[in-house]
Copies of this chain bind each other. A is one copy, B any other.
């Protein structure tokens, strides 16, 4: 595990990354004064609500572990946050998880109404692909690989929407390790893995590097989900910025529900170590990825 000093350093790094990513997002999303203003206000409300930006941060760090200066990677990286935010807005709708609180604020539909929340989600999803099509500094071949990667990771077969469907249909079913695995791998795992892969593809990774980074992405994705589930049981709504204890109330299939809290914590640590192992072929340019894996397991919110 890292020392306290190293943790302080990685937190400074993450903090600076968040503000870089936010400024790129600000350039791509139409200003709240652009007509029709209401939809742009709704998109911006959810997008700039203090997210951790873990997916773009992973993409940038992966690109930098392959190339010294992957110029413009922040543009490609921010599309992952557009997709993530759209999925949160739609997940929070009354027809789905019916959540009132997200990132410490009322959810999009509570502020703008259900219709505008549905359309704001659709708009962020659409914008992600527009941004990829208009990336500066990278050739069409690479852009199209990024479009494919993002679309597949967001889709129904092994992708984010598929996981969301399994999650909804899994409610009130007996929590099994197999069911849990199928939900998590798709629902959060696919986009986290794609984050690392998109960074690697952007930077021109070799097949071998891409395979190693994909493996890292899978372990980090699993660690992230386990810790998320554990925090839902342990932490308060205030520190999470969303309603705590909701998984159990909704009879969601989670790691604590299947394995118990203690075993879940051990599993997260195992995934952290496996993420480090996956990076063994990389030099110190991959240190940020190593620190991110540590941070994901140690975080308290």
Question: A interface vs B, CB < 8 Å?
Answer: 30, 34-36, 38-40, 43, 86, 90, 93, 95-96, 113-116, 118-119, 121-123, 125-127, 129-130, 132-134, 139-141, 143-145, 147-148, 150-152, 154-157, 159, 161-162, 164-166, 168-169
Q: B residues within 8 A CB of A35?
A: 162
Whether A132 pairs with B156 at a CB distance below 8 angstroms is no
CB nearest to A165 among chain B residues: B36
Q: B residues within 8 A CB of A140?
A: 139-141, 143-144
Q: List 27 A-B contacts (CB under 8 A).
A: A36-B162, A36-B165, A36-B169, A39-B161, A39-B165, A86-B122, A90-B119, A95-B114, A95-B115, A96-B115, A118-B118, A119-B161, A122-B161, A125-B126, A126-B155, A127-B151, A130-B148, A130-B155, A133-B147, A140-B140, A140-B141, A140-B143, A143-B144, A143-B147, A144-B144, A144-B147, A147-B147
CB nearest to A43 among chain B residues: B156
CB nearest to A119 among chain B residues: B161
Q: How many copies does the complex hold?
A: 2
A297 CB → nearest B CB, Å:
29
Query: Among A90, A113, A126, which residue has the most Cβ atoms of chain B within 10 A?
Result: A126
Whether B126 pairs with A161 at a CB distance below 8 angstroms is yes
Whether A147 pairs with B129 at a CB distance below 8 angstroms is yes
Whether A130 pairs with B152 at a CB distance below 8 angstroms is yes
Q: B residues within 8 A CB of A36?
A: 156, 162, 165-166, 169
Bound: A159/B141 CA distance, A: 26
Bound: A143/B140 CA distance, A: 8
Q: Which of B38, B93, B145, B148 contacts A165 (CB 8 A)?
A: B38
